[in-house]
Amino acid sequence: MSQLLLEPDIIAATENVLPDLNSDLVLAKNFLKQQSAATGDSLYDHLVDMVHKILSQKPPDMVDNFEQYSWEVKQEKFRPNFDLLNDVYLSPSQLTLVRRMEEMFRGKEDKPKELVPPKLPPEPVSTWQAPAPIPVERPGQGVNKKVYWVCNNPGEMWVCLPDLIPEQIRVARLIVRVMTGNLDAERNFLRAQIARIAAATSISPQGFYTYGSGEEEEDIDMEEGGGDMAFNPNPFFRGHTLKDLLDTNLTYWVHHGRHILKQGRTI
């Protein structure tokens, strides 16, 4: 009885060479593992996935639907897998428990957190105090030493301007404008400007006046309420030369009235 020989055995017997199955399998496996330039996949991995799918699902008529299974395996491999638990089977009781746990965790996440107000430092207490009001100079003293009468046009009724308070002097120094002639609205402003002009232009040659009661030149009353500074013509004044009076340094000219202080008073 003759023995049936396979083609590799015939070739090996002809060449007197025994076949090396391990080497052939390695070569075949390496060939199947060559990756596609388009997808990076290999025929070996594709066949492994197909065999795994066929053995796990055991579909009927596999020979007739082999190409369809091959296409489905490719689609599943390149489709994004958003559900990592699609192959896990859960019993109805387990599924109910999972849904309860999901609702419980969602409730904790949706519950708003109570806002805790930050602790603020104690509010500082202001120690500022309004300055004491500046006393008004009495009539006949300081800026109220003289009384002024005005009118808009010659022949009209004269109007007496009121006495000043220190605040009106301070405000008048901040205003730069042309007067309109409305005494009802500008009488205090006009009176303050007259006082400022009078204090700034009351000048005389040096030594023309003496100050005090007349007995001593240093007798000047500076106390509050004691009257304004008195000055009288000096009977011993001999005058200055015209050259001295025209000196641009104004050395021989002096103010013989008190200067208005920043507070709006002369004392």
Q: Are residues 163 and 242 in the same domain?
A: yes
Structural domain includes residue 8: yes
Q: How many residues are present in the chain? A: 267
Distance, C-alpha 21 to centroid of its chain = 81
Q: Are residues 68 and 151 in the same domain?
A: no
Structural domain includes residue 154: yes
Note the pLDDT of residue 213: 56
Structural domain includes residue 101: no
Q: Is the CB of residue 254 less than 8 Å from the CB of residue 204?
A: yes
Note the pLDDT of residue 218: 44
Q: Is the CB of residue 232 less than 8 Å from the CB of residue 210?
A: yes
pLDDT tens for the chain, 267 residues: list them.
Answer: 445 555 555 555 555 555 566 777 778 878 877 877 777 778 888 888 888 888 887 888 778 888 887 888 887 776 665 555 555 566 677 778 878 877 777 755 555 667 788 888 888 888 989 888 889 999 988 899 999 999 888 888 999 999 999 999 999 999 888 888 888 889 999 999 999 999 888 889 988 988 765 454 444 444 444 446 677 888 898 889 999 999 888 888 988 888 898 989 987
Query: What is the C-alpha to C-alpha distance for residues 172 and 183, in angstroms, rounded to an integer?
Result: 15
Q: Which of 50, 77, 104 is the last residue of a domain?
A: 77
Query: What is the C-alpha to C-alpha distance for residues 54 and 62, in angstroms, rounded to an integer?
Result: 8
Query: What is the C-alpha to C-alpha distance for residues 221 and 120, in angstroms, rounded to an integer?
Result: 58
Query: What is the C-alpha to C-alpha distance for residues 201 and 207, in angstroms, rounded to an integer?
Result: 17
Which three-class secondary structure state does DSSP give residue 138? coil
Structural domain includes residue 111: no
Residue 231 host element (H or E)? strand 231-233
Q: Which of 26, 47, 77 is the last residue of a domain?
A: 77
